[in-house]
Amino acid sequence: PAAFQSMMNDIFRDLLGVSVVIYIDDILIFSDDLESHIPVVQDVLQRLIDNNLYCNFKKCSFHVNRVDYLGLIASDKGVEVDQEKVTKAMEWSPPRNVKNVQEFLGFVNFYRRFIPNFANVARPLYDLLKKDTKWNWTEKTQTSFEALKGYLTSAPLLIQPDTTEQFFVECDASDFATGTILSQKNSEGKLCPVAYLSKSLSPAERNYDIFDKELLAIIRAFKEWRHLLEGSEKPIQVLTDHKNLEYFAKAKELNRRQIQGEEEYEVEEIVNSRKRPRKPFEYYVKWKGYDQGSNTWEPLEHLEHAKKAIEKYHKKNPHAPRP
C-alpha cells in the first residue's frame, strides 16, 4: 500500500489538495463548478491511462454533489457520517471481553471528529484496556458504551471551513480530558460545528491547576487547527470559563509551562463578551506573525479590565521556530 500510495502521489503531485484527494486507489475529484470540473476529470483519467491504470466504472460516480468517500459523506454543505454504516453500531452488543472493547473503540474512534468530548465520554472503556486491569463491566462502562452509540447515530454535519469568515473556538477541560469545538456561523447566523477535538490528559497533566488545563485546551486547539486559524482573515473568538481567565488576566508572572504555551500563540486583545449567563467573559485572539520585539499584550484602550492584563509577559525567543 505504501509503495502504491507513493506512486499515486507522484502521478498527481500537482493536483493534490488543489482538485484531487487520493487514498491508495480511492480518488476524489472536487471543483467549484461543473465547467471547471470536467477538464480536471479528463486530466485525471488521461493520467491513469498513461500509467496503465484503469478504473472500475461500476464503482465510479461522476458529476455529483454528494459522494461516499472513505466511510464519510462529502457534499457542498460539509462532511457527515454514513448513516448506513453507523446504524450498525446500534446493533452492537455490550462487549464481553477486552477484545470486544478494542473492536468497538476502533470503530467509533474513526468518527471521533463528530463526537463532542469524545475522550471524556469514552474514558471508562479505555480504562478497561489498561494493563493489569481486571475485567469488570459496570454501569459506568455501559453508560459510556450507549452514549457513544447515541452520538454516532445523531452525529452532526460538519460544515466546510471558510477562512474569510470568523472562527469560534470553544474550549473546556475536566479532570481527565480537554474538549474543543471549532465553529463558524452559517448563512442564518447560527453557529455550526466545523470540527470537534477531544484529548485525554496524561497523569502529569491531571495534576495541573484548572487554569492550566483550560490553557492546555486552547493550545491543543490552535495546534490541531493551525492550518485553518493561521489563515483566518478575522480575529478568532475563543470561548472559555470566566473564573479561570480572571486569574490569567491578574497573574503577575507566568510559570514555565504557561510560558511555553504563550510562546506558541500570542493573544492580541481581550474583549469582555459572553458565553454563559452569569458573569460572562470571553476573549479574542488573532494569530500574529512572529514579532521579535513583542513581549506585551496590546489591550483595547476602552476596556479597563484589559489594562490589567499580564504586566510581565515572557519575551519570545528570537531563535525559537514557530510551531
**Which span out of 4-8, 58-62, 224-228 was modeled with the highest average pLDDT?**
4-8
- The whole-angstrom separation of Cα 168 and Cα 218 is 12
For 2, 28, 231, 260, 287, the CA distances from 51, given in Å and listed in that order, are 18, 18, 36, 49, 43
Cross-strand bridge partners of residue 133: none
Rounded CA-CA distance 151/177 in Å is 18
What do you get for the CA distance between the two ends of the chain, in Å?
A: 31
pLDDT band at 116 (very low <50, low <70, confident <90, very high): confident
**Mean pLDDT of the chain, nearest integer:** 75
What pLDDT, in 10s, does the model give residues 283-305? Answer: 334 333 323 333 333 333 333 33
Contact 149/81 with Cβ under 8 angstroms? Answer: no
Q: Cell numbers of 25, please? A: 486507489
User: 120-177 pLDDT, tens per residue?
Assistant: 899 999 999 988 888 889 999 999 999 998 888 888 888 888 888 888 888 888 888 8
User: Which domains are present in the chain?
Assistant: 2-64 (3.30.70.270), 83-153 (3.30.70.270), 161-307 (3.10.20.370)
DSSP string covering 194-252: EEEEEEEPPTTGGGS-HHHHHHHHHHHHHHHTHHHHTT-SSPEEEE--HHHHHHHHH-S
Q: Is the pLDDT of residue 272 over 60?
A: no
**pLDDT for residue 163:** 84
Which pTM does this prediction carry? 0.66
pLDDT, tens digit (0-9, with 9 covering 90-100), for 183-220: 998 878 888 899 899 888 888 888 888 777 887 888 88
The amino acid at 270: I
Contacts 24+ apart (CB under 8 A), 16-21: 20/44, 21/69
